[in-house]
């Protein structure tokens, strides 16, 4: 590979690396807090769809940077989407927020 062909590959992988890193803080925060209320479901559905299309495009044009980086981003954004669904389930929210324990709390004797 000559230097003229190497530069676009380096730029492509670097851009992909930045995209991959950008999901990490959200994943860590959501996992630690077990709370996904602030995550937009629509945004991550569109994001997962977009990365799926990017991976398909990368395969069609045979671009390794497009395929690999978008595959990782697809996985990371799908993980956030899965946490959104998991941590937003009514039974999970009730357990997390202590619903049932707090019913009537502070009203006894009034």
CB 77 within 8 A of CB 47: yes
Q: What pLDDT score does 94 carry? A: 72
Residue linked to tokens 């202590």: 98
What's the domain range around 19?
3-88
% of the chain residues with pLDDT over 70 = 88
CATH code for the domain in which residue 8 is found: 1.20.1280.290
Q: Which residues contact 48 (CB under 8 A, 6 or more apart)?
A: 74, 77, 78, 81
| pLDDT (tens digit per residue) in 5-57 | 889 888 988 999 999 999 999 999 999 999 999 999 999 999 999 999 999 99
Q: Is residue 110 part of a domain?
A: no
What CA–CA distance (Å, rounded) separates 27 from 75? 11
pTM: 0.76
Q: Is residue 100 part of a domain?
A: no
**Environment class of residue 37 by beta-carbon count within 10 Å: exposed (0-12), middle (13-18) or buried (19+)?**
exposed
Q: Is residue 25 part of a domain?
A: yes
Reported as type and span, the H/E element at residue 105 is none
Structurally, how many domains does the chain consist of?
1
Residue 100 has pLDDT above 90, yes or no: no
If one counts every other C-beta atom within 10 angstroms of the C-beta of residue 34, the result is 13
């Amino acid at each position: 590979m000559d230097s003229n062909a190497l530069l676009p590959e380096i730029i492509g992988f670097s851009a992909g690396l930045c995209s991959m890193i950008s999901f990490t803080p959200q994943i860590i925060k959501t996992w630690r807090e077990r709370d996904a209320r602030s995550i937009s479901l629509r945004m991550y559905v569109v994001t997962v769809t977009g990365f799926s299309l990017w991976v398909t495009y990368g395969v069609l044009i045979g671009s390794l940077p497009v395929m690999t980086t978008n595959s990782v981003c697809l996985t990371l954004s799908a993980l956030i989407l899965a946490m959104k669904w998991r941590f937003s389930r009514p039974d999970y929210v009730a357990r997390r927020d202590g619903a049932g324990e707090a019913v009537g709390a502070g009203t006894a004797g009034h």
